[in-house]
Amino acid sequence: MRWQKYNGESIRSTIFDAVEEVIKREDALGNKLKVYIGTDSQVKRGIIDFATVIVFLREHKGGFMFIQRDKRHHRMSIKERMLLEVQKSIDIAYQLCPLLEKYKVDLEVHADINTNPNFQSNVALKEAMGYIMGMGFVFKAKPESFASTNCANKQVQ
């Protein structure tokens, strides 16, 4: 699956190399980065659109993101879809982990799961939290999960 920048430009290198290039560039400019990874999905006419984002925030200087889109054509429960979103985010976080550790860049994994039990997505909260934290990542859910809830969400609407 291919990654692209927010402006639609394709990333031609591996995501690992593209992220390393960003870290080096921002470091050379004196910017301190933090990385947030999240995935959201939308069901439309039986097709599930997924968007995974890597959000780079510069301390006090804004940010930008990389996006990867995917489609699934089979039905799944809300819990299965929420956990697949988490898996997509974990997969990318795991790939980037050695790089982020090398350059001492903080990482959070955001899940588009509501902490309020009155919402359907809450059925996957415990499993998602256990999965993300069990992999050693910082976990955020709604309302603090802006990477998935806002950034990725805008890519699947």
CATH number, domain containing residue 107: 3.30.420
Per-residue model confidence (pLDDT) at position 146: 93
Residue 128 has pLDDT above 90, yes or no: yes
**pLDDT for 65-111, tens place per residue?**
999 999 999 889 999 999 999 999 999 999 999 999 999 999 999 99
Alpha carbon 94 to chain centroid distance? 12
Per-residue model confidence (pLDDT) at position 130: 93
If one counts the domains in the chain, the total is: 1
- The percentage of the chain sitting over the pLDDT mark of 90, rounded to a whole number, equals 88
Residue 157: which pLDDT band, with cuts at 50, 70 and 90?
low
Domain that holds residue 91: 3-156
